Chains A and B, each alone.
Chain A
Amino acid sequence: MSQLTAEQWERYARQIGPGVLSRDGQERLSQATVFISRIGGMGGPAAMALAMAGVGSIIFAHGGRLISPDLNRQVLGSEDGLDQPRAPQFAARLQSINRFVTVEAIDREPDDEEATALARRSDVVLSSAPTFAERLRLNRAAVLAGVPLIDAAQWGMSGTLIAVQPGTTACLRCIYPRDPEFEEPFPVVGGISTAIGGLAALEAIKVLAHTGEPLFGRLWLIDAYRGQSSIVALTRDPQCPCCGGLGIGEETGGSA
């Protein structure tokens, strides 16, 4: 018995069929929860794509107030919302796209404990955080919760996507054994943010709807500055302090 109404099936009709989603896949997607942190340049378009596709629930975390330089890439923002907290206005915009989706907004960047609790409530974690500290925190949370992670990153006119299946494929800590230095603010053009965010959402949809070939174990580099793309087959570190052993390493500081 379908959980979706006739109106919902009509809404998603264009994405159901060969090479896209099966009806079962759409049902799975519609019952799934995605946790996104944050929801700016990449996370915003990712959340929009997930809402349009009919994911069941979106939990997002993003603190602070919208400022003018955000509007070169943060598609959920508008001039009317300048100087206002991001979370409520971004939640309202997302909800306006699809009333069948549940949207939960958290007006802050979660700490380790909260990130892990949110990951445990989710079927996929989508990281589009601006710092390595946050990216690694979300990686830890996903590993500890045993939930797939889609990691999106950008710089200038380029970006990367990584999909992690905890305990099976390389996690972010396998790739960066030591914390890279980080500069902020970084240069970025909104077109790449939207492109990477959209592809991150597509990875989440593939994982949740059991369709296509997810990017697990690979890094996808999109260098739009030079019009090039590369795929790297990532190597998992069996001694990784985050995902080594049974997938619950020292860095996560606990058991699943």
Chain B
Amino acid sequence: MKIHVTIAGRSYHMAEKLPPWMELPEGSSVDDALQHLAALMPAGAALDPHCLVAVSGAHLGTLQVHRPHTLCEGDELLVLAPVAGG
């Protein structure tokens, strides 16, 4: 199945070369997708463990601590790095 991936927030430019879609086996979990994503990150770059994780608009938690979730075809995985900034 294919899911859409959005990396946003702080240092979003690091993910600029990542494909917007990810191919995963049916029944994959959000953890499977996040592991796959981590492997695609440029050398030396890693996602902040405090990133907010959401699937198709539903908040699951942070990269570090989140609820389990089984993905479906066409889901959007959003990984939002914390931003502050006044």
Residues of chain A whose beta carbon lies under 8 Å from any beta carbon of chain B: 38, 40-43, 128-132, 134-135, 153-156, 158-160, 170, 175-178, 180-183, 186, 188, 219, 221, 223, 225-226, 228, 230-235
Contact = CB atoms under 8 A, between A and B. Distances in A.
Contact of B58 (A153, A183, A233): A233
Contacts, number: 109
Given A155-B9, A160-B9, A223-B8, A234 B59 contact: yes
B49 to A, nearest CB: 8
Give the contact-size bracket for chain B. 20 to 34
A188 B12 contact: no
Contacts of A170: 59
A180 B50 CA distance: 6
A156 B81 CA distance: 12
B10 A155 contact: yes
Given A159-B83, A180-B48, A221-B78, 8 more contacts: A135-B84, A153-B84, A153-B85, A158-B83, A170-B59, A176-B50, A230-B54, A232-B54
A41 B83 CA distance: 14
B50 A154 contact: no
A168 B83 CA distance: 24
A115 to B, nearest CB: 15
11 contacts: A40-B86, A155-B9, A155-B81, A158-B12, A160-B80, A178-B50, A178-B62, A221-B80, A230-B78, A232-B59, A232-B78
A135 B82 CA distance: 12
Contacts of B9: 155, 158, 160, 221
Contacts of B11: 155
Contacts of A154: 83, 85
A234 B60 CA distance: 8
A43 B86 CA distance: 7
Interface string B48-79: 10101010011111101101000000001010
A177 B65 CA distance: 9
Interface string B23-65: 0000000000000000000000000101010100111111011
B82 A176 contact: yes
Given A41-B85, A43-B86, A154-B83, A186 B10 contact: yes
A227 to B, nearest CB: 12
B86 A38 contact: yes
